[in-house]
Structure 1
């Protein structure tokens, strides 16, 4: 594709509502900076690099680029391709063949590990490439940064959706409803459901996070109390919920190589309520619907994603390699942040879970400190609802 120095953006891991906003920020900044040379996107993550599949953003219209901040998922594709040491060396040489001078991997802690390993491989192989990571994850489990682009939109979706479920159950209080949130081993998205009560018609009764061992008997006891008190209840649980000793709550469904697939936590717990308590229960799992929802995209999330993309380009062109762009909170009221450059070694596969101070003493809800931390990220107030029951 030519011999001109190239800036390449790559996506890794699961999509979010604002990963394309970061892509826009990086591409727009690079196209406005002549020394960036060609500006490419790898199609399909690391596989696109190895296979030589790219989009040249210099040939894309401004009108199309302007759609990126409001487009769901990944416009250039992403992947979860597992990599070994030999793959990183192959990537270094594939990048060299394409005359890539600056690489911007965008993703979560797994992708930041890839970012660091590519950076190390390039140095070891004598390939002169500056690597700067752009954070992205709905799970919010990247270390060091106050939060990651992608999380606030997922949190807004979860709070808004649970508020609507709460209204439904309040209007017809005949069952226990269990809502399952994504987030793997970190309870950030699950915890966000607490803000559902800001719609004015109540929030979830119980919130179970993967940062605490799940006690099945205590859960059933709490559900019975809700049934006795008001005939219904809203319970929000994490997909990563586990019992003491790390035993998953849901049973194993399939095992393929190193991958293990468990059943839905919400469906399993709803079944328990029916079987053990003899009461109606149903499960709800927004899943992918909440990962990249445009109607609930947070304006704050979108703008921060754009700025992370821009800052990554600036860092790369300055030769500030082996870093990830991070968000440092300056103030919550009024809300203000600044963008920092974090050594990539500090974030490689370092999973950030919900701190103890954000979880209530009973382990089935969150604290006011968490609510205060989250509220400004949503970018808007939840809609207010009316109810007379």
Structure 2
């Protein structure tokens, strides 16, 4: 029998280690002999920085339970773009030499859109050279922008954190009687799923945000100011949620772009909330402040969703199952069967149809005024934030695992 290799890549989430735990559990119950972990994604394979996860589990009976509720990435990450399969770049020979060295029969890459691009290329190169190694993508991203799957592991927990934080900001804003505007800037360059999650803050104890602006529709500065002016006639304290990636009708970012791109060519953005803060101050003259949530929701394990953790673990196990069946060049997916009762079905899709594509919020889930979301969006979001996992605590703080410990 052969071995398997797993790695993590891209940005961290609360649930990505639960998927890692699922892959480990699935491997331990499979026909495979051993599971290795690559440190810092695909670069760990290239640099022969690999650890024996089978031994790690054997040496610590509490490891897997703690791993499931540990935020960020136990194996570390990278943002490295593989060249084209036909480029004749020597990195492919290096990687497949490493696969052969460790007798790898299946490789699992846990990550987002760019990570799925890596799985797609490795699978294509394996087919090109006649390798039987199976390459399977295990999805994750707080942005919820992977196509084909209903939602992505990591999103539910991030949405729960965003919704809860929005409620707390609203309660904070309401304590004074003076007119004020609070702008919450939420991550989301091209897709507004996380910003839309602020709508969950509307419930029996909170009115929720007054306005929500997503990048899927053009942002009109004049209409924004008019929306605020109209609301300020009705109430003193206005809370607005905006995505970092909102654009005008010409496609220009409302935020100040930094002028730099990441390794995958994505624009680095800075300051949509601050830009709007100055605009409101200038046009309306009321007290205004902006809050940039930034990366806080990515590793907020104290506010994680049990639904998210359980699904992430199950997806990791499913990846091992389909690799054993001989599937390669695929990503595990979730299909929603119903909202109430909430039910999903795990499946897989060819990764070539997923890599480098982005799933946007449906237009009919955005209200006609382009300043809020519909009940369909709320119904979609609600099941994803349910429950709180059983986290071990010591001296009042959660117990996590790390390679250093």
Give the TM-score of the pair, scaled to structure 1: 0.93
**Structure 2 equivalent of residue 145 of structure 1:** 149
**Distance of aligned partners of 1:88 and 1:12 in 2 relative to their CA distance in 1, 3 Å threshold:** farther
Distance 1:249 1:94 in 2: 46
Preserved contact between residue 103 and residue 132 of structure 1 (Cα < 8 Å):
yes
Preserved contact between residue 89 and residue 121 of structure 1 (Cα < 8 Å):
no
Match of 1:11 among 8, 20, 23: 8
Q: Secondary structure at the match of 1:67?
A: helix
**Structure 2 equivalent of residue 270 of structure 1:** 277
Alpha-carbon deviation of 1:217? 0.9
**Structure 2 equivalent of residue 187 of structure 1:** 192
Match of 1:344 among 346, 351, 354: 351
Q: Which structure 2 segments of 5+ residues have no match?
A: 389-405
Give the TM-score of the pair, scaled to structure 2: 0.89
Q: Deviations over 1:76-112 (max 9, x none)?
A: 0111112212244543333233321100011112111
Distance 2:204 2:159 in 1: 15
Preserved contact between residue 163 and residue 199 of structure 1 (Cα < 8 Å):
no
Distance 1:208 1:376 in 2: 23
Q: Deviations over 1:167-193 (max 9, x none)?
A: 111222532100011122001110010
Distance 1:304 1:90 in 2: 34
Distance 2:177 2:376 in 1: 30
Preserved contact between residue 108 and residue 135 of structure 2 (Cα < 8 Å):
yes
Distance 2:248 2:142 in 1: 24
Is 1:132 aligned with 2:136?
A: yes
**Structure 1 equivalent of residue 182 of structure 2:** 177
Is 1:42 aligned with 2:49?
A: no
Q: Which structure 1 segments of 5+ residues have no match?
A: 382-389
Which of 251-260 and 193-202 deviates more?
Answer: 251-260
Q: Deviations over 1:262-318 (max 9, x none)?
A: 321111111111122222111111221111211111000000000000000111112
Alpha-carbon deviation of 1:260? 4.3
Preserved contact between residue 183 and residue 189 of structure 1 (Cα < 8 Å):
yes
Is 1:27 aligned with 2:24?
A: yes
**Structure 2 equivalent of residue 318 of structure 1:** 325
**Structure 2 equivalent of residue 71 of structure 1:** 70
Q: Deviations over 1:1-38 (max 9, x none)?
A: xxx722111111111110000000110111222x2122
Distance 1:360 1:259 in 2: 28
Is 1:59 aligned with 2:64?
A: no
**Distance of aligned partners of 1:317 and 1:140 in 2 relative to their CA distance in 1, 3 Å threshold:** same
**Distance of aligned partners of 1:259 and 1:343 in 2 relative to their CA distance in 1, 3 Å threshold:** closer
